[in-house]
């Protein structure tokens, strides 16, 4: 019975209509995740930042090339004015050089991502015209099509991966399972459906097809396949230069290195037309990067990251693989199967095993040597995404040659690992897990927690009284009603249950404690009706009617129970002297659900030592 079922499943996965349906369903799921974030099908929900951080630099080449025709991204300033809530110019101009004329803007990001997105930018422009939206390169139709483009290259990579594994005689069932694991268990989906415009998903697609064409060439030895290798490698190079490290593993797919060297010399003959076509195509592609730098600084050079570099003597190998900050195996735990998978690779193909280890070692050394080894904000070790097609090869081969027990273990790890990743993904989207600066304490505190009340907890840290310094207690002011403004005297604690964003205000003690530092203790009892609420306290300090300092503290993580009264204590230490402000107000905000409060009070203190 089991054999018959397997035969039917294997036959089904080899049918074109089934594979197409499989990809269409996964694409729809991925698009729905983007839609829930960006509101493409719901204009009222269209308030999320679509392009920001590094993506703003990768994308900016497109409007410069096709709309504005400038060299120094002068249009970015106007775009920032037109879209004040967005960060379209977020990372453009942060790394300027002396050669840049005053007022010019410098874009350090490589243009390969923009090259690959060019057709989708044109679709976005046409959409903007038809929808009567601004044709400035940044209105929502452009961003919608950039989102579609990111998903397209993700699935183009899956297609290339499937064809590669077909050549390596991996059963199609295992291939589709690997694709499911990558989509639902790694940050590939995060960078194709949420942090769109980053370069990694494009590198993923290119490397999948580079591997396919190379393995295909080892079997057919056709010059057209080498031509495509040149073109794809050149594109990968100007997407992220480190992508060319994939060259390290390619020779190890060969079975006969003598024949391999003979075929290379044969292709490099001056009379070979494909050689010249390949070289010309590659030079033209790489020239885009060189010309982009020249247009901005007037010098012919390739490297646009002159202010940044590698710390070759201090690689963070352990951190990039296993740290709470951005460890590869921490935020995509199913990839731990790579470790036992390498042993199966050893049994199947010793030469490829050696090449894979060499490649992974050099890759990890290079990526972890970058000055910012965590590569900024995001989810997981994003620098590895480009190389997922080769990284998952040991897992695929282990499924192909492993026994029933091993395959069962892999399926269990896939399910558990995918669940973990999906929680991480949800936490980042809902601001529970920070996109940067994660340590052991943060990771363990919010581990697998999905309650929205944990949102922004670590992005806006709590204040605390200074240690080792005595505090002189003054008086306690109690809440009476939401319209009361207190001048410092003690009022009766009515312990009323209050709602509607209550506010308490206390005036400064600058007449008596002007030079002392101020501190406040806020006590209250809170009852929330849903674990999905995000209660916060808005603290604002005033002088002459103007806000001189403010902060919103999300304290939902201090509420352990739902539908029960819980006591909350917030220490406020603004590092201001009493003479610096006239009054301070604290307003409790409900967030996205209804909240009850009672016994709200604020006690004032002064530091005993100035």
Is residue 26 within 8 A of residue 99, CB to CB? The reply is: no
Of 400, 397, 366, nearest in space to 383 by CA: 366
Q: Tell me the pLDDT of the chain averaged across its residues.
A: 87
Please report the pLDDT score of residue 459 as a whole number.
62
pLDDT tens string 448-461: 888 877 776 666 67
Please report the pLDDT score of residue 291 as a whole number.
92
Q: Which residue has the higher pLDDT, 321 or 557?
A: 321
Residue 15: count of CB within 10 angstroms of its CB: 11
| Beta strands across the sheet bearing 536-543 | 503-507, 583-589, 536-543, 546-554
User: Which residues are CB-contacts of 396 (< 8 A; sequence separation ≥ 6)?
Assistant: 165, 168, 170, 174, 175, 178, 341
DSSP 8-state class, residue 607: E
Evaluate if residue 587 carries a pLDDT over 80: yes
Evaluate if residue 149 carries a pLDDT over 90: yes
* Crossing angle for the helix pair 54-63 and 112-130, to the nearest 10 degrees: 60
**What 3-state DSSP class applies to 370?**
strand
Is residue 189 within 8 A of residue 231, CB to CB? The reply is: no
> What is the arithmetic mean of pLDDT over 582-597?
80
**What 3-state DSSP class applies to 59?**
helix
* pTM for this model (two decimals): 0.84
Please report the pLDDT score of residue 47 as a whole number.
66
> What is the longest distance spanned by two Cα atoms in the chain?
97
Using CB atoms within 10 A of its CB, is residue 498 exposed (0-12), middle (13-18) or buried (19+)? buried
For residues 58 and 152, give the distance between their C-alpha atoms in angstroms, rounded to a whole number.
17
**Of the listed ranges 102-116, 332-346, 446-460, 515-529, the one predicted with least confidence:** 446-460
**What 3-state DSSP class applies to 157?**
helix
Using CB atoms within 10 A of its CB, is residue 467 exposed (0-12), middle (13-18) or buried (19+)? exposed
For residues 154 and 147, give the distance between their C-alpha atoms in angstroms, rounded to a whole number.
11
Per-residue confidence band for 90, with pLDDT thresholds at 50, 70 and 90 = low
**What 3-state DSSP class applies to 600?**
strand
HEC sequence for 428-454: HHCCCCCCCCCCHHHHHHCCCCCCHHH
pLDDT tens string 385-444: 999 999 999 999 999 999 999 999 999 999 999 999 999 999 998 888 888 888 888 888
**Of the listed ranges 71-80, 221-230, 267-276, the one predicted with least confidence:** 71-80
Q: Find the radius of gyration of the CA atoms of the chain.
A: 29
DSSP 8-state class, residue 100: S
DSSP 8-state class, residue 516: S
Structural domain boundaries in the chain: 2-299+316-429, 471-607
User: Which residues are CB-contacts of 221 (< 8 A; sequence separation ≥ 6)?
Assistant: 263
CA dist list (Å): 150 to 57, 100, 390:
16, 32, 20
CA dist list (Å): 149 to 33, 83, 392:
15, 22, 24
**Domain 471-607 in this protein, CATH class:** mainly beta
Continuous segment of H or E residues that includes residue 312: none
For residues 291 and 296, give the distance between their C-alpha atoms in angstroms, rounded to a whole number.
9
For residues 73 and 92, give the distance between their C-alpha atoms in angstroms, rounded to a whole number.
8
For residues 61 and 114, give the distance between their C-alpha atoms in angstroms, rounded to a whole number.
6
């Amino acid at each position: 019975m089991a054999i018959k079922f397997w035969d039917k499943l294997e036959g089904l996965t080899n049918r074109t209509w089934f594979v197409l349906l499989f990809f269409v369903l996964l694409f729809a799921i991925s698009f729905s995740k983007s839609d829930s974030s960006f509101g493409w099908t719901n204009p009222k929900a269209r308030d999320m930042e679509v392009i920001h951080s590094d993506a703003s630099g990768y994308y900016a080449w497109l409007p410069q090339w096709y709309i504005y025709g400038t060299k120094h991204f002068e249009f970015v300033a106007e775009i920032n004015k037109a879209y004040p809530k967005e960060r379209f110019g977020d990372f453009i101009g942060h790394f300027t050089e002396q050669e840049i004329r005053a007022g010019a803007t410098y874009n350090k990001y490589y243009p390969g991502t923009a090259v690959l997105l060019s057709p989708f930018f044109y679709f976005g422009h046409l959409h903007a015209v038809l929808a009567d939206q601004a044709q400035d390169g940044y209105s929502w139709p452009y961003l919608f099509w950039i989102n579609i483009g990111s998903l397209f290259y993700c699935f183009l990579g899956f297609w290339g991966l499937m064809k590669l594994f077909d050549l390596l005689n991996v059963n199609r069932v295992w291939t589709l399972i690997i694709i499911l694991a990558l989509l639902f268990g790694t940050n590939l989906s995060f960078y194709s459906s949420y942090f769109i415009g980053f370069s990694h998903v494009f590198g993923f697609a290119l490397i999948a097809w580079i591997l396919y064409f190379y393995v295909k060439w080892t079997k057919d030895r056709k010059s057209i396949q080498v031509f495509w290798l040149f073109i794809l490698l050149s594109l990968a190079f100007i997407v992220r230069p480190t992508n060319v490290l994939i060259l390290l593993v390619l020779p190890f797919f060969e079975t006969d290195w003598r024949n391999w060297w003979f075929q290379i010399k044969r292709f490099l003959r001056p009379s070979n037309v494909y050689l010249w076509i390949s070289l010309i195509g590659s030079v033209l592609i790489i020239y885009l990067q060189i010309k982009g730098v020249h247009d901005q600084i007037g010098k012919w050079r390739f490297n646009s990251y002159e202010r940044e570099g590698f710390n070759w003597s201090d690689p963070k190998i352990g951190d990039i693989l296993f740290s709470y900050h951005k460890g590869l195996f921490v935020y995509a735990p199913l990839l731990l199967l790579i470790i036992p998978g390498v042993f199966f690779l050893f049994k199947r193909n010793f030469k490829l095993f050696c090449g894979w280890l060499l490649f992974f070692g050099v890759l990890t050394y290079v990526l972890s040597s970058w000055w910012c080894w965590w590569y900024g904000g995001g989810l997981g070790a994003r620098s590895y995404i480009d190389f997922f097609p080769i990284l998952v090869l040991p897992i695929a081969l282990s499924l192909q040659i492993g026994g029933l027990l091993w395959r069962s273990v892999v399926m269990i790890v896939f399910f558990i690992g995918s669940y973990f990743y999906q929680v991480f993904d949800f936490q980042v989207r809902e601001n529970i897990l920070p996109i940067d600066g994660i340590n052991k304490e943060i990771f363990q505190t919010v581990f697998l927690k999905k309650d929205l009340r944990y949102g922004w907890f670590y992005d806006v840290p709590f204040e605390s009284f200074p240690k080792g310094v005595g505090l002189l207690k003054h008086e306690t002011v109690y809440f009476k009603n939401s319209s009361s403004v207190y001048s410092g005297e003690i009022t009766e604690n009515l312990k009323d249950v209050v709602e509607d964003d209550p506010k308490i205000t206390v005036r400064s003690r600058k007449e008596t404690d002007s030079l002392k530092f101020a501190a406040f203790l806020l006590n209250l009892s809170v009852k929330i009706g849903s674990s999905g609420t995000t209660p916060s306290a808005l603290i604002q300090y005033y002088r002459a009617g103007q806000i001189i300092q403010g902060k919103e503290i999300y304290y939902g993580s201090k509420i352990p129970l739902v539908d029960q009264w819980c006591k909350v204590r917030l220490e406020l230490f603004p590092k201001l002297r009493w003479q610096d402000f006239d009054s301070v107000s604290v307003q409790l905000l409900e967030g996205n659900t209804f909240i009850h409060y009672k016994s709200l009070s604020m006690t004032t203190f002064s530091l005993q030592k100035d």
